[in-house]
Every structure is written in C-alpha cells, then in structure tokens.
Copies of this chain bind each other. A is one copy, B any other.
Amino acid sequence: MGQCHCHKKRKDSQELTDVERAIEIVINNFHRYAVKGRKECLTPNELRELVVQQLPHLSQHVCSLDEKIECLGDPDEAKLEFGEYWAIIGEAAKGCRVKK
C-alpha cells in the first residue's frame, strides 16, 4: 500500500501544525474502527460504535443519527467510505459551532 508524505511525517510530528495533527487524529479514528471487512470502510455498526464512544458530546448535533445509520444498509455489511465519515463529523461540527 502506498503511504503518502503525511504518513511518513507522522514519526516526526513536530513538523505538523496543531491543525494538521488534529486532522490526523480524526483520520486515525476512522481507521481504528474500520476493522471489519474492507479496512478502508466503516460498517454502520462500526460507525455507531465510533460515535457513541468517541463523539459523545458531538453526537447530539447529528440530527437523527440512528435513522441515518439505519439508512446506510446492512449494519455489518454496508460500507461507509472515508468521505461519508468526514461529512457526518462535519455535520456534527457545524451543529456544534453555532446553535441553530
């Protein structure tokens, strides 16, 4: 698997900015839970676990997260790509930023 420049930099994280390190944490969190099936994807159940364990304060800002997860398909088979994970977190972050 081709590792990119950013991954190589991880060993020397002094070079990364605070924001880059923060982004790396959010990326690593995806990989930490994406263990079943294809490693590049989360199943709906893995996503649910991730949100409950890692985003307890933010999850309240994701409208009807349970409904969303149910719509993703088979809880153990459906595949959620990184971009979808990122979008869900973005929605939580947006809700968190300013109360509507």
Partner of A9, one of B26, B57, B89, B92: B57
A5 to B92, CA, bound (A): 12
Residue numbers in B under 8 Å from A22 (CB-CB) = 21-23, 25-26
> How many residues from A make CB contacts under 8 Å with B?
45
Residue numbers in B under 8 Å from A38 (CB-CB) = none
By Cβ-Cβ distance, the 10 closest A-B pairs, closest first, are: A2-B99, A22-B25, A86-B90, A22-B22, A6-B96, A4-B99, A19-B54, A19-B29, A17-B54, A22-B26
| Residues of A in contact with B (beta carbons under 8 Å apart) | 1-7, 9, 15-23, 25-27, 29-30, 40, 53-58, 60-61, 82-83, 86-87, 89-90, 92-99
